[in-house]
Amino acid sequence: MRHDRQVRSLPSIIHLDMDAFFAAVEQAAKPSLRGKPVIVGGLGGRGVVSTASYEARRFGVHSAMPMAQARRLCPNAAFLAGRFEAYRQVSEIVMGLLRELSPLVQPLSLDEAFVDLEAGPYGPVLAEADLATAERLVVALAEDLRADIERRTGLTASVGAAGSKLMAKIASEQAKPDGLVLIEPGEERAVLGPMPVRALPGIGPATEQVLRRAGLNTVADLAEAGEAELVQLLGRSHGVGVHQMSIGLDDRPVVADQDAKSVSVEDTFEVDLADRERVLREVDVLAARCVRRLRAAGRSGRTVVLKVRRFDFSTLTRSETLRGPTDDEAVITETARRLASQVDITGGVRLLGVGVSQLADYTQEDLFAQAEREEAAAEQHPAPTGEDHGPVEEEAVVRHWLPGQDVHHDEFGPGWVQGSGVGRVTVRFETPWSGPGRVRTFAVDDPALEPARPLPLRRDAGRGEHGDAWAGDGGAGDAPAGDARAGDGGAGDARAGDGGPEDGGAAEPGE
């Protein structure tokens, strides 16, 4: 390959990130919400915003904001609990398209991944081409990819291309929304220089504080400060890494972790930890980081693992398996703490790690639904275990309908819950491929109304041989990018060209 150890001479790494992902999936699935502010997240008292559509962002709503604040800023938005199963299905389609470009695809979350084009079918051509030709090819591949994603899902993605992961990710941020940016090798320092230090991976709020106190605010400041000063401020390994990034040097490879079996984080300490309380505090921090990763991957896990390396480099792991998969920070932290308090730490601890394995995907019960059901249940009766999915004694169950949830009505067909209260539930009957639909209200226990699985965003995706809407979708073995994918597009799909959240919700008659 024609690249030195530090930076490639070709912009052959791409980073793709879906635009306003959860909210965009909701708009694609629910025609009446297109062009309108949509906010997805925990709707309960302590809920936070997962994401907001770009229409809602104009009101200042953003990820991680308390839901109560979002309601004040944008009271007319549609507030929806998430539908993890739907997001996962879309994610699988997107990741499948990326894998046609290269076997080296590194997903970072449901809506985001790096791809190393040199490792794929276009690698040899890229390696032969002169720089200008290679850049044109990368741009063409990336535009085809974005078009394919839109054709298959109706959603927009932003793509960055560069010679390193660092720069590709920065490029995709610059490309947002619905764009493509290529950063030419050699441009790294010029692009990075004016950015705040937080733009670099590995610089969080704590490191930012340390740097700010030393008068270092921009990436250019870091580059000028030099390695020695950064090592002094941040310690050897972190300081060296940060300095390299600040001058645009990043040789981290794209690593395919197709199906992670566990999620874990660990930390080595400069000075061995000898005090039990201190160890437990570090365990708390690691558990919180581990949970963030777990959630970013849309997973939950059943086994909590604690790793301890002692002063003499003896390393041991302890694990505890829970009754069911969880991504609850309190549960994971408590379990990790329990494991840590059983370990002999005499002599000191050099490294600690917290991980979660036996990962599960969210299926019927998604994150938010779970949280809300728990909240609702806690208010009413002792927590149900959630173990039975089969029919339960009618009179014992008050059905809880969540805003956004998919349902099916015997007479009116597929729809989604718009709201519920005082014994009634309001459902809008529309599908991803219909026009905006009508609303009807039912009693919450109407036997004709059932929870349903998400519909595919493209009607023809539902015509697989398996009867399972998504079965035929993942590995459509057709030619790689550049192919117009005629067979896949949205034949007969009225929306194929207008995907935009920008076009107002012009009411088309329902089917």
Report how far residue 294's alpha carbon sits from residue 166's, in angstroms, rounded to the nearest whole number: 22
Here the tokens at position 487 are 């067979």
Minimum Å gap between C-beta 186 and ligand TTP is 27
Q: Of the listed pieces 18-26, 100-108, 337-345, 396-404, which binds ligand TTP according to CB under 6 A?
A: 18-26
Quickly tell me which residue has 């009446």 as its tokens: 32
Question: Residue 17 interacts with Mg ion (CB under 5 A)?
Answer: yes
Quickly tell me which residue has 């084009």 as its tokens: 117
User: Has 128 been annotated as catalytic?
Assistant: no
Binding marks (x or -) toward ligand TTP, 104..123, rule CB under 6 A?
-----x-xx-----------
409 exposure class (CB count in 10 Å sphere: 0-12, 13-18, 19+): middle
Binding marks (x or -) toward Mg ion, 62..101, rule CB under 5 A?
----------------------------------------
Question: Residue 18 interacts with ligand TTP (CB under 6 A)?
Answer: yes
Q: Of the listed pieces 15-23, 261-269, 310-318, 438-446, which binds Mg ion according to CB under 5 A?
A: 15-23
> Considering beta carbons, is residue 80 or 242 the nearer one to ligand TTP?
80
Binding marks (x or -) toward ligand TTP, 144..183, rule CB under 6 A?
--------------------------------xx------
Binds 64: which of ligand TTP, Mg ion, none (CB < 5-8 Å by kind): ligand TTP
Binds 177: which of ligand TTP, Mg ion, none (CB < 5-8 Å by kind): ligand TTP
In eight-state DSSP terms, residue 384 is: P
Binding marks (x or -) toward Mg ion, 19..48, rule CB under 5 A?
--x---------------------------
Q: Which residues of 365-377 are buried (b: 16+ CB within 10 A; e: fewer)?
A: ebbbbbbbbeeee
Which of the residues 26, 85, 112, 188 is marked catalytic? 112
Binds 22: which of Mg ion, ligand TTP, none (CB < 5-8 Å by kind): ligand TTP
- Residue 220: CB atoms within 10 A of its CB come to 18
Minimum Å gap between C-beta 403 and ligand TTP is 16
The C-alpha torsion from 49 through 53 and 58 to 64, rounded to 10°, is 20
Binds 429: which of Mg ion, ligand TTP, none (CB < 5-8 Å by kind): none
Q: Which residue is nearest to Mg ion (CB)?
A: 112
Minimum Å gap between C-beta 246 and ligand TTP is 23
Question: Residue 264 interacts with ligand TTP (CB under 6 A)?
Answer: no
Q: Of the listed pieces 13-21, 40-48, 137-145, 305-313, which binds Mg ion according to CB under 5 A?
A: 13-21
Quickly tell me which residue has 């298959």 as its tokens: 152
> Considering beta carbons, is residue 345 or 356 the nearer one to ligand TTP?
356
Q: Which residues contact 119 (CB under 8 A, 6 or more apart)?
A: 102, 103, 104, 254
Q: Are 14 and 161 in contact (CB under 8 A)?
A: yes
Question: Residue 150 interacts with Mg ion (CB under 5 A)?
Answer: no
Closest CA to 276 of 347, 325, 373, 174: 347
Terminal Cα-to-Cα distance of the chain (whole angstroms): 55
Count of residues touching ligand TTP (by CB under 6 A) = 15
3-class DSSP state of 34: coil
Q: Which of 112, 116, 188, 460 binds Mg ion (CB under 5 A)?
A: 112
Quickly tell me which residue has 């999915």 as its tokens: 389
Question: Residue 327 interacts with ligand TTP (CB under 6 A)?
Answer: no
Closest CA to 185 of 131, 125, 119: 131
Q: Are 282 and 271 in contact (CB under 8 A)?
A: no
- Amino acid 461 reads A
Report how far residue 460's alpha carbon sits from residue 171's, in angstroms, rounded to the nearest whole number: 33
Question: Could you give the count of Cα atoms lying within 13 Å of 121 in the half-sphere of its Cβ?
Answer: 9
Minimum Å gap between C-beta 458 and ligand TTP is 20
Report how far residue 266's alpha carbon sits from residue 253's, in angstroms, rounded to the nearest whole number: 20
Report how far residue 382's alpha carbon sits from residue 5's, in angstroms, rounded to the nearest whole number: 59
Minimum Å gap between C-beta 357 and ligand TTP is 22
Q: What are the residues binding ligand TTP (CB under 6 A)?
A: 17-22, 50-51, 63-64, 109, 111-112, 176-177
Instruction: Note the residues at the interface with Mg ion (CB under 5 A).
Output: 17-18, 21, 111-112
- The residues that are catalytic are 112
